């Protein structure tokens, strides 16, 4: 796309927003219903496109791309009318005879970037929030998943007029053109490195951003954990889409008493899920590009391979792999793995693990396995991450009732469910004064009024404390 074409789309969307048409809750509902129906109609095309882009298993695409997207659309459709109503809030006692409210209003024209690993849900779920909130939207899919991007473009074109929502196809040159323009909000899903570029570009226009990034999300298996459940879930999460998931288990800390049991169970589930020759499994994805493949293959040399390690250079496949005996300075412990390679570390004192995590960038997710509620609360209180799942993996990210997002290096802001609506909404503060009484104490001249004002507010604070 050319700069002129990009600007033409943006200007049309800005004009459409200024027309006030998107403020209609009925219009928002109509288009989100169309979007939901069209996603259903394109289910087979979405699955086929994912196969072409990454070799991903149909079931995995259905879970994270289709079902997750339909859940979010259905939830928004059920709640738009209540979300868009003004919210009454309390008014301070000293502003008696007044009432206060927060009016939800859209930002305007928003820009949404998706990553390549889940190109449908990472565009449509934030789009659901943007449209529900009353915005217009430009969508930019990743060029790394061209088949899926093409299907998304067809879905959006079938549902929306371009002045309401449009897809801009292309590579980094198109992303750069988009970031040069002024938007009212930018929503980005991708790596921390690119997230910094997006935030810097948005800052030039003082545009607010949501950044959904990644990080080294750890799993911790304490000595009282159900080791079989832990191993099963971690292997599944580590190999889902070949580990190319922002909330995949990056590495695992296992209590020394359970180390061998975990390794044995992990190997058993690798074989159960993908057979003795996982490189031939129809349920296993390939690594998205050559750079990511070469980076991941280099990790195999940084520890002892206790299972897996096979690669297929031509198909960019890496077998499910378990690594132990890893030096502290190894890159596999410093960089987000984003591959089906599981570094296993052991500990004997959970406090040591917690202390170590506090020195590292905050991850997008943390997983803790223990049957002890007290230990669970300790981990939740004393560690810092975007989200936590206890005795399972990746589950918190699938709930429309929980916000999903990172903190620090793993992101800014959150979405999913009501949080998606809130992300693209400005809550305008409004106070209605009934003009019944206008106290003269607040106006000059102030001579002799300070003691009366002090006594007045002492009385107000006392009354508020009592009431």
Structure token digits, residue 425: 């909404």
Catalytic residues: 212, 246
DSSP 448: T
For 38, counting Cβ atoms within 10 Å of its Cβ (0-12 exposed, 13-18 middle, 19+ buried), the class is middle
Q: From CA 99, how far away is CA 78, in angstroms rounded?
A: 29
Compute the C-alpha angle 113/47/342, nearest 5°.
Answer: 75
Task: Look at residue 442 in the predicted model and tell me its pLDDT.
Answer: 87
Residues 42 and 154 sit within 8 Å (Cβ to Cβ): yes
Q: From CA 125, how far away is CA 386, in angstroms rounded?
A: 18
> Which pTM was predicted?
0.95
Helix 68-83 and helix 121-133: axis angle, to 10°?
10
* E strand map for 115-206: 136-140, 165-167, 185-189
End-to-end CA distance of the chain: 62
Q: From CA 4, how far away is CA 255, in angstroms rounded?
A: 59
Q: From CA 141, how far away is CA 130, in angstroms rounded?
A: 16
Structure token digits, residue 181: 């323009």
Strands of the 109-113 sheet, one edge to the other: 165-167, 136-140, 109-113, 185-189, 209-212, 411-412
Q: From CA 9, how far away is CA 21, in angstroms rounded?
A: 17
Q: From CA 132, how far away is CA 19, in angstroms rounded?
A: 17
String of DSSP letters for 210-251 = EEE-----EEEE-TTS-HHHHHHHHHHHHHGGGG--TTS--E
What is the per-residue burial (b if ≥16 Cβ within 10 Å, else e) of 128-139? bbbbbbbbbbbb
Structure token digits, residue 376: 């669970």
**What are the residues facing 307 on neighbouring strands?**
322
Q: If you compute the radius of gyration of the chain from its CA atoms, what whole number of angstroms results? A: 26
Structure token digits, residue 407: 């903190």
Structure token digits, residue 327: 């030096």
Structure token digits, residue 372: 């002890």
Task: Look at residue 434 in the predicted model and tell me its pLDDT.
Answer: 81
Residues 6+ away with beta carbon under 8 Å from 419: 129, 403, 404, 405
Task: Look at residue 232 in the predicted model and tell me its pLDDT.
Answer: 98
Task: Look at residue 467 in the predicted model and tell me its pLDDT.
Answer: 65
Residues 6+ away with beta carbon under 8 Å from 86: 101, 102, 103, 104, 430
Please tell me whether the peptide bond between 328 and the residue prior to it is cis, using omega within 30 degrees of 0: no
What is the full per-residue pLDDT of the chain (467 aa) written as tens digits?
Answer: 899 999 999 999 999 999 999 999 999 999 999 999 999 999 999 999 999 999 999 999 999 999 999 999 999 999 999 999 999 999 998 888 899 999 999 999 999 999 999 999 999 999 999 999 999 999 999 999 999 999 999 999 999 999 999 999 999 999 999 999 999 999 999 999 999 999 999 999 999 999 999 989 999 999 999 999 999 999 999 999 999 999 999 999 999 999 999 999 999 999 999 999 999 999 999 999 999 999 999 999 999 999 999 999 999 999 999 999 999 999 999 999 999 999 999 999 999 999 999 999 999 999 999 999 999 999 999 999 999 999 999 999 999 999 999 999 999 999 999 999 999 999 999 999 987 777 888 899 999 999 999 998 999 888 888 76
């Amino acid at each position: 796309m050319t700069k002129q074409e990009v600007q033409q789309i943006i200007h049309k969307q800005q004009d459409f927003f200024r027309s006030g048409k998107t403020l209609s809750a009925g219009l928002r509902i109509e288009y989100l219903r169309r979007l939901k129906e069209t996603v259903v109609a394109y289910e087979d095309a979405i699955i086929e496109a994912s196969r072409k882009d990454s070799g991903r298993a149909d079931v995995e695409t259905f879970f994270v791309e289709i079902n997750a997207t339909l859940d979010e659309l259905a939830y928004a459709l059920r709640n738009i009318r209540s979300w868009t109503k003004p919210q009454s809030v309390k008014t301070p006692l000293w502003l008696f005879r007044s009432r206060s409210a927060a009016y939800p209003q859209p930002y305007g024209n928003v820009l949404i970037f998706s990553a390549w690993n889940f190109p449908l849900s990472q565009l449509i779920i934030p789009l659901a929030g943007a449209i529900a909130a009353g915005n217009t939207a430009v969508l930019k899919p990743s060029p790394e998943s061209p088949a899926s991007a093409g299907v998304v473009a067809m879905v959006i074109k079938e549902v929306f007029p371009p002045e309401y929502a449009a897809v801009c196809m292309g590579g980094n040159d198109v992303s750069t053109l988009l970031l040069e323009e002024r938007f009212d909000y930018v929503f980005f899903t991708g790596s921390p490195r690119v997230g910094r570029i997006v935030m810097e570009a948005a800052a030039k226009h003082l545009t607010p951003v949501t950044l959904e990034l990644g990080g080294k999300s750890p799993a911790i298996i304490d000595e009282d954990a159900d080791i079989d459940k832990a191993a099963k879930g971690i292997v599944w999460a580590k190999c889902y889409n070949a580990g190319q998931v922002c909330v995949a288990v990056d590495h695992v800390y296992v209590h020394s008493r359970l180390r061998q049991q975990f390794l044995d169970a992990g190997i058993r589930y690798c074989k159960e899920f993908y057979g003795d020759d996982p490189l031939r499994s129809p349920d296993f994805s390939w690594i998205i590009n050559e750079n990511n493949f070469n980076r991941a293959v280099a990790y195999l040399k940084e520890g002892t391979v206790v299972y897996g390690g096979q690669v297929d250079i031509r198909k960019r496949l890496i077998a499910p792999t378990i690594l132990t005996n890893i030096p502290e300075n190894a890159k596999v412990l410093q960089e987000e793995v984003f591959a089906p390679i599981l570094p296993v570390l052991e500990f004997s004192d959970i406090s040591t693990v917690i202390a170590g995590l506090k020195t590292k960038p905050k991850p997008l997710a943390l997983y803790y396995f223990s049957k002890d509620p007290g230990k669970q609360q300790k981990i939740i209180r004393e560690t810092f991450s975007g989200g936590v799942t206890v005795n399972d993996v990746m589950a918190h990210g699938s709930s429309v009732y929980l916000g999903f997002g990172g903190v620090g290096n793993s992101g800014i802001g959150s979405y999913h469910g009501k949080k998606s609506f809130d992300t693209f909404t400005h809550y305008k503060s409004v106070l209605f004064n009934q003009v019944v009484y206008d106290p003269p104490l607040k106006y000059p001249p102030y001579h002799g009024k300070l003691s009366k004002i002090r006594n007045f507010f002492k009385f107000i604070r006392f009354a508020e404390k009592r009431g």
